[in-house]
Amino acid sequence: MRLQILFTICAFLQSLCVALSHDKLLKLSEKGPNNVIELTDSNFKRVLGSPRDSYILVFLTASAPQVGCSICLEAADEFKMVANSWFTDHPDGASTRGKEARRLFFAKSDLKDAQHIPQIFGFYSLQHVPRLLLFSPGEDINKYKIIDLAGDPGQERALQIINSLRSATNIDDFNLHLPVDWTLSIVIAVLTFVAVYIFKRHRSLVAKLVNMRPLWAIVWTLFIILMLGGYMYNNIRNAQLAGVGPKGEVLYFLPNQTQNQFKIETQVIGVIYASLTVSLLFLIFGIPKLKDFYKGSKSGQLLEAASTILFAAIIYAFFAGLTAVFNIKQPGYPYQLMKLSALFK
């Protein structure tokens, strides 16, 4: 009889301990951004090592630009999406649908600075980032299960993570909640409003704008320049903005690759093409206008000749730049133009 009481007390105490740990985790998790516990060098052993009755999903990642891990950045969003989905349905981090409550918390450690590698990375002797480790209740710091990152980036991968979690933890009521993106609706609403308003109030102005040929010309010429710069490639392939070189410097051009590019290349090439177009148009339109304006005067002739040569030189400079950039993409390109700057070296 006494023994039984002792057992009861023990069990009660034990459950109290565990319950404390759950509350503690909840508190910790509420402290962190998006309900994610930040693992630091000082706390990770305590969080993962102390006895617990909750699952913890640990996300190990490296957002430092020197590492150049683009999947990490995508995975961080997906991790955030998963954590938010969980806490939308279960504010206290526990699912009570099954016989016993199942608790799940999220923790994260991020290598933000290449100089300082968090201890947890060394503790688990990490070879790859990003990594998702699932710690089960009642087990120690060395036992975990790896959750795979599978599928296409974004929604689909977040869904995959949730599915793996569901099967690993037997939690049924874990659904993906997408963050509602209002921006598009708002933008459309505002634009419609503005368009209708302008059309109502300033009909003649709108008619003038619609009939303005140079406006159409500029819009569509810019569109073509954008397309020629590989804009669709960026969209379809979800290209990286820029790269990181071996010494940690920023790379603007993906070298040796004519089939692939960074997003920023489109901008650089767009500027080159646009400048060339503007200079060409100036040569074709501007110079004859200038000539008419200064008809007959000696200084006008000089000005005309000087500006003509100037624009020819600008075209040469940009074209030389273009071939130089192309040489990065296709090394050994034989018909590179000599750069103007080479004259002054």
Residues forming contacts to another protein in the complex (CB under 8 A) are 127-128, 146, 148-150, 213-214, 216-218, 220-221, 223-225, 227-233, 235-237, 257-261, 265-266, 269, 272-274, 276-277, 280-281, 283-284, 287-288, 301-302, 304-306, 308-309, 312, 315-316, 319, 322, 326, 329-330, 334-335, 337
CB 294 within 8 A of CB 300: yes
Shortest Cβ 232–another protein spacing (Å): 3
Q: Decide whether 20 or 305 has the Cβ nearer to another protein.
A: 305
Least distance from another protein to the Cβ atom of residue 133, Å: 13
CB of 233 to another protein, least distance (A): 4
Beta carbon nearer to another protein, 2 or 298: 298
Query: CB of residue 193 vs another protein: minimum separation in angstroms?
Result: 22
For residues 118 and 184, what is the distance between their CA atoms, to the nearest angstrom? 39
CA distance 70 to 61: 11
Whichever of 26 and 239 has its CB closer to another protein, that residue is 239
Q: Which is nearer to another protein, 50 or 308 (CB)?
A: 308
Q: In the numeric block, which tokens belong to residue 47?
A: 């969080």
3-state secondary structure of 2: helix
Is the omega angle on the peptide bond into residue 130 within 30 degrees of 0, that is, cis?
A: yes
CA Rg value for the chain: 31
The distance of closest approach from Cβ of residue 280 to another protein in the complex, given in angstroms and rounded to an integer, is 4
Please state, in angstroms and rounded to a whole number, the distance separating the CA atoms of residues 25 and 52. 9
Q: What CA–CA distance (Å, rounded) separates 93 from 95?
A: 7
Pick the closer one to another protein by CB: 100 or 181: 181
Report in angstroms how near the CB of residue 194 gets to another protein at its nearest: 23
Of the chain, the end-to-end C-alpha distance in Å amounts to 98
Q: Least distance from C-beta 81 to another protein, angstroms?
A: 19
Closest approach, Cβ 78 to another protein, in A, equals 14
Q: Could you give the angle at the alpha carbon of 111 between the alpha carbons of 256 and 36, nearest 5°?
A: 125
d(CA 74, CA 72): 5
CA of 281: how far to CAs of 70, 216, 218, in Å? 41, 16, 12
**C-alpha 60, offset from chain centre:** 17
E strands of the chain, at which residues? 36-38, 54-61, 94-95, 102-110, 131-135, 145-147, 243-244, 250-251
**Residue 254 CB, nearest distance to another protein (Å)?**
9
The Cα 280–Cα 216 span in angstroms is: 18
Residue 86 vs 311, nearer CB to another protein:
311
Q: Which is nearer to another protein, 32 or 151 (CB)?
A: 151
Residues near 113 by beta carbon (within 8 Å), at least 6 away in sequence = 64
- Nearer to another protein among residue 115 and residue 259 (C-beta): 259
Q: Which is nearer to another protein, 70 or 308 (CB)?
A: 308
